[in-house]
Amino acid sequence: MYIETIDSPADLKAMSLDELEALAQEIRQALISRAKTQDEHLSANLGVVEATIALHYVFDSPRDTLVFDVSHQTYAHKMLTGRKEAFLDPAHYDDVSAFASPAESVHDPFIVGHTSTSVSLAAGIAHARDLAQGTGRVVAFIGDGSLSGGEAFEGLDLAAELGGNLVIVVNDNEMSIAPNHGGLYQNLAELRKTQGASANNYFKSLGLDYRYVEEGNSLAPLIEAFNQVKDATHPVVVHIHTTKGLGLEAAEKDPERYHHVRGLTASGEPHAQAVSWSDLTVSHLTELMEHDPQVVTVCAATPTGLGFTQDKREAIPAGQFVDVGIAEQTAVTFCAGLAQRGAKPVLCIYSTFLPRAADQLIQELCVNSLPAVILVDKGSVYGSGPVSHLGLQDMALLGNLPNMLYLAPANPQEYVSMMDWAVDYTQGPVAIKIPGGEPYQGDVSSKVVPSAQVALVGVGTFFSVAKEAAQALQAQGIQASLINPQVISDVSPQLAETLKAHKVIVTLEDGMIAGGYGAKVACALAATPTRVLVRAFESTYTDRMDPQDRISQARLTAAQIAADALEALHS
C-alpha cells in the first residue's frame, strides 16, 4: 500500500501520477472502512481526496500554510501529515479529532470547527508574512456551503485589497451540508456551465484573479492549476468542481444523508437513530405549521442534524421552512423581520453556532422585543464532542439578555407545551433549551416538602438526576424539596421565597457554571443564610471528553449530589 509509505507530505514529491492516483483510492477506501464504526463526516471527505493530495504535492506544508474551512474535510490531509494510523488501524481511530488540531500536528495552524473563517484566517497569515518580509505560500480551502456565510464574503473582500500571495481554493461540490441556498450559488452554477468563462463572475467582481478546474477529482488538472498559481503575487481563486461522496455510490446519490454518519450498517447504510428530541421538534413544528400558515421554521444550513431530513422538509407547506445557508446572523435578523410583520418565526439552531449571531440576538430581537422562538439544540454535555462544537455556553448567553425569556423543559410533554405557548407569545423573544440525552418520560412537577431542609433544583436535562438524588436522600431519612424551575433566565421572587426556607440548595444544570442558572440562584439568596451549591460544568474547553466523565468531574451524578447535600447540611 502506498499510504503506508507516507509519513509526511514530502513523501509525495517523488511519486508518479499513477502512484498518486492509486494513493487516492487507498485513502478513499480507508475513509469508508473507518466510517463503518465511527462518528464521521464522510461524504465531504470523500470528495476532496484528490484536491488534498494535489495541494500537498504542489505546496510545501508546513512552510506553506494550508487553512481548511470548517475542517470537517481534513481526513485525507491528516493521513498525509503523519496521522495515517488513526485511519488505518481501528486501535488508533480515537487518536485524532474530527477537526483540525494544532495539538496533533504542525500542519494544522488552527483549531477550526465553525464555518466561513478560512479566507479571513489565511489573509491574516499572509499579511503577517508580508509585514515581516517573510516567505511561505498561504492557501485557504473553502467549500461545502461555507461561501454562504457572511465572513467568507468579508474575507474575500479583504483579501482582494491586501494583495500578496494567497491561493483560495473554492471546493464546489454543489452542496452545503444540505443543498445550497442563495443567489451566490446560482453564479457558481453559471461558472460551472461556462467552464469559468462567464463574464458574470462573483470572484472577479471583488477584484480577485480566477481559475476554473472542471475535473476537481482528477489529479493532473489540479496539479497543473496549483502549479500555475502557487507563486502568484496577488490573491487567486481556484474554483474546482468536485463530487461530494465520491467513491461510495450511496453517498454520491445522497450526499446529505452521508454528510455525517454514526457508523454504517453491513449494507453501507447510516445507522438509524433512536427516537430523539429532534424527532419531537420536527413532528410538532410540522404540525404547528400545518395548522398556522404564519409559523415559519428557519435554520442555518443544518436541517438534517436538526431532524429536518429532505423528505420531512418537502412535507412542510411551501414558504414555511427557510434554510438561509450557513449564515446564523442572517437567520436571527430574518426572524426579526418576520416577527415585525406578524409572522411567527421559529429558529432551530445548534447551541455551538448560536453565539455567531450574538449581536443580532441583542440588537434585532431583544432591543426590539420581537416575538421570535429559538429552539436551542445540542446544548448539552450529551451532545458535545470536539472542542469546536461544545454546546454548553447558551445559558450564559441567552439567560442574561434583557427581554429574552429562556425556558428549560424536562420531559417531552413539557417541551411540546412550551413550544405551543412560545409560538403565540407576543411580548418578546423566547428561547427553549432542548434537553440532551434520552428523553425522560417521568413526572417533572415540582414538589415542595414542608419543613424540608434541602431543596434540589434540577434544570432541564438534569431534573431526572435531581429526582434520583432526592430519592437517595429520602433513603437516608432526609426529605428534600424538588424544584423544576422551567424559566432559567431569572429567579422569580416567589421561587426565591420558596428556596430560602431551606438550609441547603443544590442546583443542577446542563451548562457552564459562569453565568448559568445556579449563579442566579446564588445571587438571589446571597443575603440569606441558605447555602447554595452550584453543580454545573467548569468554564473550560474540553475536546472529545466522555459525557459521563465530565458529569462525574462536575459532581452531577445523583449519588454525588445526595452526598454533597448531606455534607453541606451537617456542616
Residue 144 has, within 13 A of its CA and on its CB side, a CA count of: 30
Percent of the chain scored above 90 by pLDDT? 81
How far CA 108 is from CA of 77, 99, 405, 440, in Å, comes to 9, 10, 40, 41
Residue 301 pLDDT exceeds 80: yes
Mean pLDDT of the 162-169 span: 96
The two domains 2-262 and 454-570 share their CATH topology (first three levels equal)? yes
CA distance 493 to 273: 42
pLDDT for residue 275: 57
In this structure, what C-alpha cell is assigned to residue 341? 410583520
Letter string b/e over residues 160-184, b meaning 16 or more CB atoms within 10 A of that residue's CB: beeebbbbbbbbbbbbbbbbbbbeb
Residue 39 pLDDT exceeds 80: no
Residue 262 pLDDT exceeds 80: no
Residue 266 pLDDT exceeds 80: no
Q: Centre a 10 Å sphere on the Cβ of residue 312 and count the other Cβ atoms it contains.
A: 18
The fold adopted by the segment(s) 2-262 is: Rossmann fold (3.40.50)
Pick from 203, 154, 219: nearest CA to 211 = 203
Residue 269: pLDDT band with limits 50, 70, 90: confident
User: What value does the mean pLDDT of the chain take?
Assistant: 93
In this structure, what C-alpha cell is assigned to residue 533? 451549591
CA distance 348 to 368: 20
444 versus 255: the higher-pLDDT residue is 444
* CATH number of the domain located at residue range(s) 454-570 in this protein: 3.40.50.920
Give residues with Cβ within 8 angstroms of 17, minimum separation 6: 219, 220, 223
In this structure, what C-alpha cell is assigned to residue 132? 515581516
pLDDT for residue 177: 67
Mean pLDDT of the 155-167 span: 95
pLDDT for residue 267: 73
Residue 179 pLDDT exceeds 80: no
Mean pLDDT of the 362-384 span: 94
pTM of the predicted model, to two decimals?
Answer: 0.86
Long-range contacts of 549-554 (CB under 8 A, 24+ apart): 550/381, 551/381
Residue 29: pLDDT band with limits 50, 70, 90: very high
CA distance 143 to 70: 9
pLDDT for residue 273: 63
pLDDT for residue 318: 93
Span of 148-152, 271-275, 483-487 with lowest mean pLDDT: 271-275
* 3-state DSSP assignment of residue 232: coil
Given phi > 0 = left and psi -120 to 50 = alpha, else beta, which region is 97? beta
Residue 57 has, within 13 A of its CA and on its CB side, a CA count of: 26
Is residue 490 within 8 Å of residue 409, measured between CB atoms?
no
Is residue 560 within 8 Å of residue 533, measured between CB atoms?
no
Residue 268: pLDDT band with limits 50, 70, 90: confident
Residue 404 pLDDT exceeds 70: yes
pLDDT digits (tens, 9 = 90+) for 67-118: 999 988 999 999 999 999 999 999 999 899 889 999 999 999 999 988 999 9
pLDDT for residue 134: 96
pLDDT digits (tens, 9 = 90+) for 537-555: 998 888 878 899 999 999 9
The fold adopted by the segment(s) 277-433 is: Rossmann fold (3.40.50)
Residue boundaries of the structural domains of the chain: 2-262, 277-433, 454-570
pLDDT for residue 72: 87
Span of 80-89, 189-198, 254-263, 465-474 with lowest mean pLDDT: 254-263
Single-letter code of the amino acid located at 459: V
